[in-house]
Amino acid sequence: DTAVSQTPKYLVTQMGNDKSIKCEQNLGHDTMYWYKQDSKKFLKIMFSYNNKELIINETVPNRFSPKSPDKAHLNLHINSLELGDSAVYFCASSQDPTGTQYFGPGTRLTVL
Amino acid sequence: QKEVEQNSGPLSVPEGAIASLNCTYSDRGSQSFFWYRQYSGKSPELIMFIYSNGDKEDGRFTAQLNKASQYVSLLIRDSQPSDSATYLCAVVRTGRRALTFGSGTRLQVQP
């Protein structure tokens, strides 16, 4: 069984479109995250939810909106996509906010 | 100064040698330290974590933490070509409920 899963794995879209990425974890963890990894491979946190409460909201354009319907799911919706949004987006989860994080397989977003 | 600093590499070592990867951090109050490995096109996977000063060994891997000098290192003994990957150091900084990652060191193990 996959511990942290993301869909879709690849996403190719046009500038200006709106898209969503979904994440699910079956580890029973309380905390989930979204990271962006750019072309230079730097892994930067975007959002973190603990027990469905937003606890980290980094300096991210408000075109990005996370939603956590329950502890096992964390989705990322992106409005008005821009070229600079092209990156790999990773979801991760951990038992608590300072514990070991387990990553999903990533979603490679390409904005044309 | 970056919060978590790593040499980007590539660090090239021959097969069978010891690879030494280093990481420094700026927040003296940092509590927990993690090493992740990321193969090209894949997601980061945990190698090991360390909380206390000193060494922690797990198979061919040894993590070393020196809080006074604010560095953490990862030694890989008997390096194999399959160890070729980017190694990410991550730190839990004071009062921050998340990991802060370094930019990673790319390791190449030459057969």
How many CA within 13 A on the CB side of residue A9?
Answer: 5
Give me the pLDDT at residue B8, please.
87
Please count the other Cβ atoms lying within 10 Å of the Cβ belonging to residue A1: 5
Q: Which residue of A has its CA nearest to B99?
A: A98
Q: Which residue of A has its CA nearest to B91?
A: A98
**Residue B97's pLDDT band (boundaries 50, 70, 90)?**
confident
Give me the pLDDT at residue B32, please.
92
Average pLDDT over residues B1-24: 93
Residues (pLDDT < 70) of chain A are 1-2
Residues of B in contact with A98 (CB under 8 A): 31-32, 92, 97-99
